[in-house]
């Protein structure tokens, strides 16, 4: 496709989407998350140009956009091209000279479903452009640059989780990330456990209203604690006892948001310990608790996602189920015994359609490697 359109053989890079097993809305509070890179990904093919233009073709949108490498826009324009152009802009801001190039993009991460299609797009483009200009960034640095594309160019106030796992994931493993210093630990996912991802078909968006509102509410709780106690710049540094002491000074919603974030950090670290020990029952129990906290205290779920989690409970093979990602729609993650996964997926889909009238997309996925060059 790239060759036919641009008459040049591309170098090709791939970056995966992700599913988060546990640790929701903790990343921007410098806490813990435990995502997995999945076998849905974005491919980016790149070749140099001599006319100083950046020409980007998206196979998914069937559209081509052209920019001048010497005068890139300062801000995004609410278009799919914001993600690849933002990569060039952030790299230029880091002092790199950005040459002209042709970039073709294709992906199968479902859009707007909370599986980080945008992070996959940023990371694939980042690898492609840095390789073209001959710069190499370590995985964690590359992830930070991609997060800055979202924060500074696209205008979405997300944390580091999605870009980090897309850049640094490992096949057959979950990654426990400390979002403060970006140190991480890999925990194997047992071979007899499947990741069953169930799309509620309710669209999710990070830039949209609710994500930033929740973030602000939880940060307001942190500010109350910080007014009493030193060294609490983020909820990562707060405890449940702090909420008992000073919760009455917080807006009730802020208190609830903070209770979710603080308890979620504890659950996420505990879940990684359990996964390392192969104690899947405990991982499942913590996922169930995490869903309740996300739904009730953080109010980050929606009727459809709660229904999808509820309907999974007594299907044979279930280890744990919860809404994954930024919330208000998107997908649930179900850890399921591998041998039962196809029957589980079928039953869940039937039940969900019967209950909601919506036909869900259900995928049996596996943990995949982070971004790399294909050819």
Residues at the site binding ligand GLA, with contacts judged by CB under 6 A: 24-25, 27-28, 158-159, 161-162, 206, 325-326
| Minimum CB distance to ligand GLA, residue 189 (Å) | 19
Residue 45 or 320 with smaller CB distance to ligand GLA: 320
What DSSP line would sit under 10-53, residue for residue? PEEEEEEEEEEEE--S-GGGT-EEEEEEEEEEEEEEEEE-SSSE
Residue where the block lists tokens 């001959």: 134
| Minimum CB distance to ligand GLA, residue 366 (Å) | 20
Give the number of other CB atoms < 10 A from CB of residue 191. Answer: 9
| 3-class secondary structure, 58 | strand
| Minimum CB distance to ligand GLA, residue 319 (Å) | 21
Residue 28 or 101 with smaller CB distance to ligand GLA: 28
Residue 294 or 344 with smaller CB distance to ligand GLA: 294
Q: Do 95 and 111 meet the contact criterion of CB atoms below 8 Å apart?
A: no
Residue 129 or 158 with smaller CB distance to ligand GLA: 158
Q: Do 311 and 180 meet the contact criterion of CB atoms below 8 Å apart?
A: no
Cα distance between residue 334 and residue 337, in whole Å: 10
Residue 104 or 117 with smaller CB distance to ligand GLA: 117
| Minimum CB distance to ligand GLA, residue 28 (Å) | 6
Active site residue 181: no
Active-site option among 82, 162, 242, 306: 162
Q: Do 194 and 316 meet the contact criterion of CB atoms below 8 Å apart?
A: no
| Minimum CB distance to ligand GLA, residue 114 (Å) | 7
Q: Do 18 and 116 meet the contact criterion of CB atoms below 8 Å apart?
A: yes
Residue where the block lists tokens 């997300």: 158
Angle (deg, nearest 10), helices 280-292 and 252-277: 170
Residues recognised as catalytic: 162
């Amino acid at each position: 496709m790239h060759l036919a359109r641009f008459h040049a053989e591309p170098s090709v890079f791939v970056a995966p989407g992700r599913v988060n097993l546990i640790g929701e809305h903790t990343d921007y509070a410098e806490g813990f998350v435990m995502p997995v890179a999945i076998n849905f990904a974005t491919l980016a093919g790149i070749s140099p140009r001599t006319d100083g233009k950046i020409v980007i073709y998206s196979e998914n949108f069937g559209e081509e956009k052209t920019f001048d490498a010497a005068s890139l826009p300062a801000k995004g324009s609410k278009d799919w091209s914001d993600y690849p152009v933002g990569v060039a802009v952030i790299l230029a801001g880091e002092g790199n000279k950005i040459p002209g190039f042709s970039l073709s993009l294709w992906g199968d991460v479902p859009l707007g479903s909370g599986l980080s299609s945008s992070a996959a797009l940023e990371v694939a483009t980042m690898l492609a452009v840095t390789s073209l200009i001959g710069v190499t960034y370590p995985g964690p640095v590359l992830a930070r640059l991609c997060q800055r594309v979202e924060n500074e160019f696209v205008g979405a106030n997300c944390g580091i989780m999605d870009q980090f796992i897309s850049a640094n994931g490992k096949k057959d493993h979950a990654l426990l990330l400390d979002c403060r210093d970006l140190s991480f630990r890999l925990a194997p996912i047992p071979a007899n456990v499947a990741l069953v991802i169930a799309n509620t078909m309710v669209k999710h968006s990070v830039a949209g209203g609710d994500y930033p509102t929740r973030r602000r509410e939880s940060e307001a709780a942190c500010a109350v604690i910080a007014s009493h106690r030193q060294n609490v710049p983020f909820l990562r540094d707060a405890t449940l006892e702090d909420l008992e002491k000073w919760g009455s000074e917080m807006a009730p919603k802020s208190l609830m948001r903070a209770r979710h974030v603080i308890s979620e950090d504890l659950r996420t670290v505990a879940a990684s310990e359990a996964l390392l020990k192969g104690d899947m029952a405990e991982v499942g129990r913590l996922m169930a608790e995490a869903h309740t906290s996300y739904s009730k205290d953080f109010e980050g779920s929606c009727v459809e996602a709660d229904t999808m989690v509820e309907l999974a409970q007594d299907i044979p093979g279930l280890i744990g189920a919860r809404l994954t990602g930024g919330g208000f729609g998107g997908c649930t993650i179900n850890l399921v015994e591998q041998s039962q996964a196809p029957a589980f997926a079928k039953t869940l889909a039937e039940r969900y359609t019967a209950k909601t009238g919506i036909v869900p997309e259900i995928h049996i996925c596996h943990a995949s490697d982070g971004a790399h060059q294909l050819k």
